[in-house]
Amino acid sequence: MSLHDDLVHRRRDLGLTQAQLAERIGVTRQQYQRLECGGNPRLDTLRLVADGLNARLALIPLEKWYAVKALLDGENEGGTPLDEDPWQGLLGREE
């Protein structure tokens, strides 16, 4: 799934139209529509969109990505413990 697909899914999960999200973040619907359709936004635009989607941008080290994705996908629901804490050391330091 691409970032553009993620934006569409998150917006829909929140029950927002493109026009509503565009208004929320202060851009035109056409500007936001271009972003969802494969536009190449600047980092500050992505931050603005993430805020509008009640989300955060993060760089996740690839070696942690699969554990984080499994957790977010709910693959460990039902009390099955993770082999390791995917959040531990995410930023490259012990926390």
- Residues 29-45 have pLDDT tens digits of 999 999 999 989 999 99
pLDDT, position 67:
85
The gap from C-alpha 88 to its chain's centroid, in whole angstroms, comes to: 20
Residue 32: CB atoms within 10 Å: 26
> Does the pLDDT value for residue 87 go beyond 70?
no
pLDDT, position 2:
87
Walk me through the domains of the chain, giving residue ranges and CATH numbers.
3-52 (1.10.260), 60-95 (no CATH)
Spatial distance between the Cα atoms of 64 and 88, rounded to a whole number of angstroms:
9
From 12-21, 24-33, 58-67, 74-83, the region with the lowest mean pLDDT: 74-83
> Which of 54, 61, 53 lies closest to 36 in space, CA to CA?
53
> Does the pLDDT value for residue 28 go beyond 60?
yes
Q: How high is the mean pLDDT of the chain?
A: 84
